[in-house]
Chains A and B, each alone.
Chain A
C-alpha cells in the first residue's frame, strides 16, 4: 500500500504566498505525482533492464550533472 503524500505537498504546489490551495486540490496533485513517479519508475526500470541490470541505479554524477547544468 502506498504511503500518503506528506502534507508538505500543499506548500509544494504553489510558490506564491498569495495563492491558496483549494479543497482536495492537494489530493489531486498527489494524483498527479503518482502517475508521474509511476512513469518515471517505469522508464527507469526499462532502462535498467535495457542495461541488463535488475537494479535501478542513479546515473553517474558526471552524467547526471550535465543535464542539470544544461537545464
Chain B
C-alpha cells in the first residue's frame, strides 16, 4: 500500500524516489517490488491502484491507466501459464525480472501516467518486453489468445500494445523460433487476400480447436508437426501450407524461382524441423535458442508488428495477428527458401554464368589469341608482303648477326641499295634503280642464302661470301647489266659513267662483297674488298656524295684511273701495273697463299674472290675501259696470274680460257666480282697469252679497274696479308714473267670455280695440277669446264663465276659491252648459280672450313681493317642502333625492323640538307665554322623553334643534362657564366 500512497501524488513518488535513489532504475524497483509483492498481488494492486487513481486522474490519464492496467493484466495472466514448459522455466526467471518491470511500469504509469513516463517505461522495459514476449508464448499455448486477442485488440491502440503484439508473435515464434524473425518479412510479401484466407483458416482452427489444427498442420506439415505442441503454431502452420499454395501464386507474382526454392527450402526446413520435431526437447531447445535469437529478432519483429499490427488489430484479433504472423512465418520461410533458392539459383546461375563467362572468357581469350595471332600473322604477312626483301634482309641480318655482324651485311645491302639508288639517281635511271633495287633485293636474298650458307657452313664463309658476292655481283651485274646496257646504250659511253657504273657496280659488288665478305668474314676478301672499299669509300665518300663516277673514278683514279687509261690503252697498265701488280699480287698472293697453304688457298680463294671482285671491277673497268685493253690486261693479268700460276703451269689452258673467260669474266666481272675478277684475271691471263710479263702490266692496266680492285684486293691482301700480297706481287712479277701464271689465274678463275677446286682440288687449286685439270677442260671447253664445274655444286661460287665467265666467254662477249650484254648470260648463269649455290653450301661447307682455317689468321686482321674502312664508308649516317632506338622511343609502339632502311635513307637526306643549310648559314655569316646559332636559325626555319617554344625549352626537353650544361648558359658564383655567352 505504500506504493499506493506513493503513487497518489507526484510528490510522494519523488520523495520515494529520493529515498530509494538506488532503486530508481525501473528494473531495480521492479525487482524490489517483485520481492515485496507477489505477481498476483501486483496485478491486483495495480488494478486497485488504477481504480483508485482513475478517479483522481484526468480522463486521458484514466484511459492510459486503463490501458496500462490491461497490459498489466495481460502480463499477469501471461505469467502464470509460463511454468509448464522448460522454456517457461527459463522464461520464468526472465519473467520474474520481466514481470516486475511491467509492474513497475504500471506503477509508474499509475503514478504519473504522463507520456514521458510511458515512454520511459517503454524504453526501459523494451528489453524486458522481449522477455515478456517469451512468456507470452506460454500463454498462447493455453490458448488465451481469444481473450488475449480481445485484450490485445484493445491494446494495440496504445503505444504499449506494440510491445504486446510483438510478444504474441514472438510467443508464436517461440515454437518456430527462428521463423519468427523471418515471419515479419513474409508478412510484407503477403497480400490482403492471403491474410483473409489465413484469417479464415485461423478462424477455423480456432473454432476447430488445437486438435484439428494440429492434425491439419501435421498432415500439412510433417516437419512442422514437431512444433505441434503449440496448437497455435499448428494452426498457423496449416494455414501456412495453404498459404504456400496460395503464396505460390503470390510468389509467382514475385518470381517463379521462389516456388522451386520454397519446396527445396521447405524440405530443408522440414528436415530441420523433423530433426527438431523428432525430439520435442530439441524443438524446445531450438525454441529456447530461438528465444534468445528471437530476442534479437524481436526488435525487428516489433517494428514489423507495428507495420502489420495496426491493420490486424483493427480487423483481427491478436490471435489472428499471431496467425498472420505464423503464415508470415511460413511465408518468411518461403521467402527465405526463395531467397535461398534465389541465392542458390543465383549462385548456380552465377556459377553457370561464371562458367559461361569463363568459357566465354576462354573463348574470348582463344578468339583473342587467334585474333592476336591473326594480327601477328597479318602484321607478319603485311611485313612480309610489305618487305619480303626487308625481312630477308632482316633474316639475313639476323643470321649474319648470329654468324657475324648482321649490320655489316644489312648495311652492305642497304648501302648497296642505297648505292644502287644513288647511282641510279645519279644516272638518272630510275628503272635501273628499281632493277638495282630488285637486284639488290635478290642480292640480299642471295646474300641471305649465302649468309645462311655461311652460317650453316660457318666455314664456307669465304666461299659463301664468294657465292653471295658472286650472286650479289651477278645480281648487281644483272642490274649493272641493265644499267650498263642502258648505260652502254646511254653510253656507259662516258668511260666515267661506264666506269662509274661498272665501278658502282663494282663498288656495289665490292661493297656487297666486302660487306658480305665482312659479314661472311671471308675476311681476307672482305679485308681486301674493305680496303678496296675503303679506297672506294674514300673516293666514294666524296664520290658517292658527289658522284658515283667520281668515286669509281677516284677509286679508279687510285687504281682505276688506270682503267680509263686502260680504256684508252692498257695505260692503266701503269696504274694497272700497280693495280695489276697489287691485283696480281693479290692474285699471286691468293695463289701463292693457295699454293702456299690450303688455308692460304682458302684465303686465296677469298683473295681470289676479292680478286675476282676486283677482277669483276677490273672487268667492269676493263669493260668500260675497253674489252681489248681488258683482254690484253686480262691476258696480261692472266699472264701475270698465269705467270704466277705458271709455276703451276696451267697458263696455256688458262690463257685459252682466260681469253674466252676474259669476255666472260668481263661480263662476269659484273656478275662475280670475285670469281669474275679471278676469272677475268685468268681470262686476261688467257688474253695475256700475248705476253705474260707485258700482259701482266697491260692486264694490270687493262684491269686498272681490276687492278684497282686487284690493288684494293692487293691492298686488302696487303692489309691483312700485306706480306703475302707483297710476296704475291713479287711472285706475280715473277709469275707475270712466267707464262704459267695464267694457271693461277685459272686457279683464281677456278677459285671462282673454287668449287671445281673445292671439288677436291681446293687445296690443290692452289697447287697447279688440280687446277690444271679443271682448267684443261675449261681450256678445251670452258663451258664444259663450267658445266663440269656446275655439276660440282661445291664449286658453285667459283663455278658460277667460272660458268658465268665461261658463258660469257662462250657468249664471246669480248668487248666490255659484250660483257655488259653478257649479263643476260650472267642472269642465266645466276639462275644456275643460284641453284648451284643452293647445292654448293654442302661443298662450300666442306671447303670453307679449310679455307677458314687459313683465312682466319690472315683474314681477321684484314677484317679489322676492312671494318674500319667499311665503317668509314658504312657510317655515312648514324648508327642503326641509335636511329632505331630513338625512333622506337618516339614512336612509342612496335616498329618493324624493315623500317631502318627507310629511316636510314631519310636520315641521309636529312643530313644532306642539314649540312647544306648549315654551311650556307655559316658562309652567309662569313664564318667557316658552324656555330650553335646557325643550327638555332635552322631550327627556327624548320619550325622546331618558335616564339612559344624557345630553344632552351627544347634543350631541356630533349637533351640530357650534359648537353644542357653546354648549351644553356648558367651563372655561377663569381659572376661566371658557363658556357661563355656568345659575343654579339
Contact = CB atoms under 8 A, between A and B. Distances in A.
A11 to B, nearest CB: 9
Contacts of A29: 914, 918, 935
A28 B955 CA distance: 8
Contact of B441 (A14, A58, A61): A61
B898 interface: yes
B321 to A, nearest CB: 71
Interface size class of B (residues with CB under 8 A): 35 or more
A21 B886 contact: no
Interface stretch (B663-671, B725-733, B958-966): B958-966
Contacts of B915: 12-15
B390 A8 contact: no
Contacts of A24: 932, 963, 966-967, 979
B878 A14 contact: no
Contacts of A40: 887, 890, 903, 906
B909 A58 contact: no
Contact of A31 (B430, B909, B958): B958
Interface size class of A (residues with CB under 8 A): 35 or more
A65 B895 contact: no
A29 B375 CA distance: 39
A60 B939 CA distance: 31
B934 interface: yes
Contacts of B914: 12-13, 29, 32
B929 A19 contact: yes
B885 interface: yes
A59 to B, nearest CB: 7
A15 B895 CA distance: 31
Interface string B910-922: 1110111011001
A22 B930 contact: yes
Interface in A26-65: 27-38, 40-42, 44-45, 48-49, 53-61, 64-65
B902 interface: yes
A55 to B, nearest CB: 4
A1 B387 CA distance: 30
A15 B967 contact: no
A69 B422 CA distance: 10
Interface stretch (B200-208, B257-265, B377-385, B515-523): B377-385
A58 B896 contact: yes
Nearest to B910: A36
Contacts of B918: 13-14, 29
Nearest to B885: A3
A66 B378 CA distance: 25
A14 B928 CA distance: 11
Contact of A8 (B879, B936, B944, B966): B879
Contacts of B382: 53, 57
Contacts of B378: 53
B674 to A, nearest CB: 27
B875 interface: yes
A1 B424 CA distance: 39
A42 B386 contact: no
Interface string B946-984: 000001001100111001001100000000000100000
Given A9-B878, A30-B963, A56-B891, A25 B928 contact: no
Interface in B547-606: none
A25 B425 CA distance: 31
22 contacts: A8-B879, A20-B928, A20-B929, A21-B929, A23-B966, A23-B979, A28-B936, A31-B939, A32-B942, A33-B886, A34-B958, A35-B939, A35-B944, A38-B890, A41-B891, A48-B893, A53-B379, A57-B383, A57-B387, A58-B898, A58-B899, A65-B421
